[in-house]
A and B are shown apart, each in its own frame.
Chain A
Amino acid sequence: KQEVTQIPAALSVPEGENLVLNCSFTDSAIYNLQWFRQDPGKGLTSLLLIQSSQREQTSGRLNASLDKSSGRSTLYIAASQPGDSATYLCAVRGGTTSGTYKYIFGTGTRLKVLA
């Protein structure tokens, strides 16, 4: 059964710092991995999607890497801003028993960037 874990659970940093959020998954037979952002009282916004054949994706100040063999992904946020404060969720699609369409979500990292 696919399990997704995110570390740390919460993080508080001063504005301008570069930071790394970690995601690990137990079944490496994934179809893709996606990072989301969730703001309080709102739905999820997709940040980056990495296919199983890719090693990284970049969008602006965000860079996500994928090491499928070790079951790990990282989300790198450069020059953090107070507007980056949110919960970041990692989700993997696929796995030996999950099928190709189902996403399994991690526990999330609550990020607070202090001005």
Chain B
Amino acid sequence: SAVISQKPSRDICQRGTSLTIQCQVDSQVTMMFWYRQQPGQSLTLIATANQGSEATYESGFVIDKFPISRPNLTFSTLTVSNMSPEDSSIYLCSVGDGKAETQYFGPGTRLLVL
């Protein structure tokens, strides 16, 4: 299994500012995933972050808005740039178990943009 921590756990931000969310895993993983969960909605994949290469973004998400870093096999950051109230969501980091393919999730970062 994998234990994932995220920072911050929650934040309230002003429109137009940016927030960087950190994700730390207790083991080395090849692929890390960033999801968004808007209020009352299910999870939507934002991008997949591989160490040593640029992140792969899903349709509707762009690097300028959600830049991602993956400096090593245990850490990743997601930045939400130039925030608007529509960015208010829970952002979750996730990794897969290479053997069992079970997906593990961090506790999430609750973001409120005013």
B92 and A105 contacting across the interface, CB-CB below 8 Å: no
Main SS at interface, chain A? strand
Which residue of the partner chain B has the closest CB to A34? Answer: B103
CB proximity of A96 to chain B, nearest CB, Å: 16
Count of inter-chain pairs, beta carbons less than 8 A = 50
A24 interfacial contact with B, CB 8 Å = no
Number of interface residues of B (CB under 8 A): 22
B104 interfacial contact with A, CB 8 Å = yes
Which residue of the partner chain A has the closest CB to B93? Answer: A43
CB-CB < 8 A to B94: which residues of A?
Answer: 44
Most central of B31, B33, B96, B103 by chain A CB within 10 Å: B103
Choose one: B48, B101, B105; the contact of A93 (CB below 8 Å). Answer: B101
Digit string of A62-100 for contact with B (CB within 8 Å is 1, else 0)? 000000000000000000000000000101010000000
CB proximity of B21 to chain A, nearest CB, Å: 13
A107 and B42 contacting across the interface, CB-CB below 8 Å: yes
